[in-house]
Amino acid sequence: MSGPLVLGIETSCDETGVAVLEGMSVRSSVLASQVEMHERFGGVVPEVAARAHVEAIRPLAHQALTNAGIHPDQLDAVAVTRGPGLVGALMVGFAFGKSLAYSLGVPVFGIDHMEGHLMAPRLSFDEYEPPAVVILASGGHSQIVHVKGWGDYEVLGGTIDDAAGEAFDKLARFMGLGYPGGPAIDRDSTEGDPTAVDFPRALKDRPFDFSFSGLKTSVVTYLEKAKDEGTLPERADVSASIQEAIVDVLVEKTFNAVEATGVERVGGGGGVLANRRLRERFAEEADRRGVGLFIPETSLCTDNGAMIAGVAVDRLNAGHEGDDLRGDVDPGLRLGA
Amino acid sequence: MKLLAIETATPASSVAIGEDDRLLGMSVNVDRRGHVGFLMPAIDFVMSRVGWQPRDIDIVAVDVGPGPYTGLRAGIATAQAFAAAIGAPMVTMSSLTVIALRAATGRRRIWPVVDMRRGQFAVAPFQPLPGGVAPDGAPEVVNPYDFKALLESEGQDALVVGDWHVMPEEARRGLHRVRWGRPRYPSAETMLEIASMRANKGNLTDADDVRPMYMREPDVDINWTAFRSEGAWPE
C-alpha cells in the first residue's frame, strides 16, 4: 500500500486522536481518552475537555509519528477537524494542526468530523465505496446519510431531539449505570431479556427520522410506576429492553433508506456503532437483504485521528491543494449543508 | 538569535518576529474570537516580509496567561506545534508581566489587570526597576470591588494598567493614590524583549511542558436532573 503520508488530528469532543495514514492504510493511531475525567459529571464538560486536549496534543502527535516510524518532514499534509463540535476543544487541534502544517511547509486540510466518520470504513474495507447509505450515531449526532460520491452527501434524516448516544447516556445515568451510557447499558444487557418491557419506537410515519426523547420519558415513567407498585423487573431486563428500542429504530430507519435509495452498501460510524447488539442486528439485516455491510472495528467507529486523515487522503488523491491559512473552526458545521 | 513571539491572552492578539530584542515585524488584531483565523496568516506575513523560513526561528515565545482560555489555548497550541515541527525550544511568560513591563512609572507600584470575563480580573503587583519590573506578589483573580479594597488597603501610590476600562466606574472611583494608565493589552513586541532576556539566561521550556495559566477551576455546566430511581435496584 502506498500513497500520501497524512497526519490526522481530532479534538472535537472528549477524545484527543492523532494518526498517520499512508494512503488509506493506518500507519499509527493513538488516542488520549478523557472518559474518566467526565465520568463524575455524567457528560462531557467543555472546559474540562479543552484543558485535556491542550495537554495531550503535543505528546500524542509525537507518539503517532514515532509509532508510524516517520519523521515529521516526511509528511505530505496535515488534516484536522474543524467542526462540528465543542468550540474550545476544536480550537486546540485546529490551531495545532495549522501551525504544524505551516512550519513543515505542507498543506493543511480542515475536515468535517462527520465526513471523517463516513470515510472511516474505507480504512477497513477496500470494497466500501459510493453509493452507500451510512448511519452515523454518537453522543452528539444521529444521522442517516446517502453517500452519492466522496464529497457528495445527502442527509436523509436523523434525530429530531436527542442523539442516540445522548439517549444512552441519559438513561444509563437515570438507572444509576454510570458514564458513558452506551457501553454501560450494553454490558448490563448481556443477561437481560430484550422483550421484557415494550418501550415505544417513535416516529413510525417518518421513514428516516428518529426521536429518543419519548423513549426517555417512557422509561422514566415506567420505572417510577414499577417502583411504586413493587413490580420492578431485573435491571438487566430494563437495560436490554431500552437497548432493543434504540437498536430497533436505528436499524429500521437505516434499512428504510437502503430500500428507498436502492444502494447495495451500508456503512456505519460513531461511538454508538460500537454497541454489540446494534452490530449484531445490522449484520443479520444486511445478510437477510443481501447488501454489503461496512461497519469498521470499534476503534474506527469512535472518534479518532485516522478517519480525519482519511478525508484528506481522498482530497489529495482528487487533486485538492489544501485550505487557506485564514481558516477557522466551525462548531456548527453541517454535513451536506 | 531569531525569535517568534505569539500573544493571545487578551482580545488583542499579536505576533512578532525579531533578532534578539530588535523588532523586525509585527501584526496585531483586536477581536475577542478571531485568534485562530488571525495567527497563521499573520505569522506567514511577518516571516515572508523579512524572508525567513520557519526553520530559521531559534526560539518560540508564548504568553501562557492569565487570560480568557479559548484564545490562550489557540496561541499555545500554535506555538507548541511550531516549536515541535522545527525542534526549537520555547520561552513562556505571563500576560501580567508583559503588560507591566510597558507601564510608564518610576516609583508607583504597578498593577496590571487582565479581563477574565464574568466580572473577574487577574491582577498582580510589580515594582518598577531601572530598565524593567519585578514581580512583588502572587497573581490572583478578583472582582472589581475586591480589587478596589485591595488597592485601598495597600495605602501606596499605584499605577493600574491593562484592561481596567472594563471594570465598573464605581469600582474605580475615590482611589486617590491610584492612577489608571496604559498599555491596555500585552504585546508580542514586548514579549520579544522578555524572551531574548530569558533565552540568554537559559530559561527555556520544552514544548511538552507548556501549560496555560488558568487560575480558575473549569466551569461545569452540565446539570441534568438528579436520578429519582437511584438505588431502586439493590447492589
* A62/B70 Cβ within 8 A: no
Which of A38, A45, A102, A106 to mutate against chain B (most B CBs within 10 Å)?
A102
Inter-chain CB proximity A176 and B233 less than 8 Å = yes
Inside any domain, residue B202? yes
Based on the domain organization, do B20 and B66 belong to the same domain?
A: yes
Chain A to chain B, count of Cβ pairs less than 8 Å apart?
A: 147
Nearest to A109 by CA among A317, A324, A326, A303: A324
How is residue B153 written as a grid cell?
A: 488597603
Average pLDDT over residues A253-282: 97
* Helix (H) or strand (E) run with residue A145 in it: strand A142-149
One domain, residues B86 and B102: no
Domain count across chain B? 2
Per the domain annotation, does B30 fall within a domain? Answer: yes
Of A58, A99, A224, the CB nearest to B229: A224
Whether the CB-CB separation of A93 and A273 falls below 8 Å is answered with no
pLDDT tens-digit profile of A200-255? 998 888 999 999 999 999 999 999 999 899 999 999 999 999 999 999 999 999 99
Whole-number Å distance between alpha carbons of A186 and A173? 14
At residue A289, what is the residue type? R
Chain center to CA of A67: 24
> Higher-confidence residue: A162 or A257?
A257
Please answer yes or no on whether B43 and A47 come within 8 Å at the CB atom.
Answer: no
Q: Do B202 and B215 have their domain in common? A: yes
Interface contact B235, partner A, CB < 8 A: no
For residue B21, what pLDDT band results from cuts at 50, 70 and 90? confident
The reported pTM is 0.94
Question: What does the block give as the cell for A242?
Answer: 431500552
Q: Is A221 on the interface with B (CB under 8 A)?
A: no
Domain that residue B56 falls in:
2-94+186-230
Is the link from the previous residue into A84 a cis peptide, with omega within 30 of 0?
Answer: yes
A56, closest residue in chain B (CA to CA): B208
Secondary structure (3-state) at A154: strand
Residues B88 and B196 in one domain: yes
Q: Considering the domain boundaries, does residue B196 fall inside one?
A: yes
Give the CATH number, domain containing residue B69.
3.30.420.40
Structure confidence at residue B125 as a pLDDT band (50, 70, 90)? very high
Task: Give me the percent of chain B exceeding a pLDDT of 90.
Answer: 84
What residues are paired with B91 via a beta bridge? B61
Q: What CA–CA distance (Å, rounded) separates A295 from A244?
A: 19
Question: Same domain for B114 and B77?
Answer: no
Per domain, the residue ranges of chain A are 5-119+300-317, 126-295
**Residue B235 belongs to a domain:** no
Residue of B227, B230, B235 to mutate when probing chain A, most A C-beta within 10 A: B227
Instruction: Report the complex ipTM.
Output: 0.92
Same structural domain, B122 and B140:
yes
B211 Cβ under 8 Å from any chain A Cβ: yes
> CB distance A175–B227 less than 8 Å?
yes
Same domain, B166 and B217: no
CATH architecture of A5-119+300-317: 2-Layer Sandwich (3.30)
> In B, which residues are within 8 Å of A105 by CB distance?
53-54
Between residues 143 and 202 of chain A, which touch chain B (CB distance below 8 Å)? 170, 173-176
Q: Which of these, A249, A276, A40, lies nearest to A162 by C-alpha position?
A: A249
Quick check: A56 and A16 in contact, CB under 8 A?
A: yes
Considering only CB atoms, which chain A residues are within 8 Å of B82? 99-100, 102-103
Q: What distance in Å separates residue B198's CA from the closest CA in chain A?
A: 23
Q: What is the mean pLDDT of chain A?
A: 95
Matching fold, domains A5-119+300-317 and A126-295: yes
Query: Alpha-carbon distance B48 to B97, whole Å?
Result: 29
- CATH number of the domain within which B118 lies: 3.30.420.200
pLDDT band at B235 (very low <50, low <70, confident <90, very high): very low
CATH 3.40.190.10 holds for A126-295: no
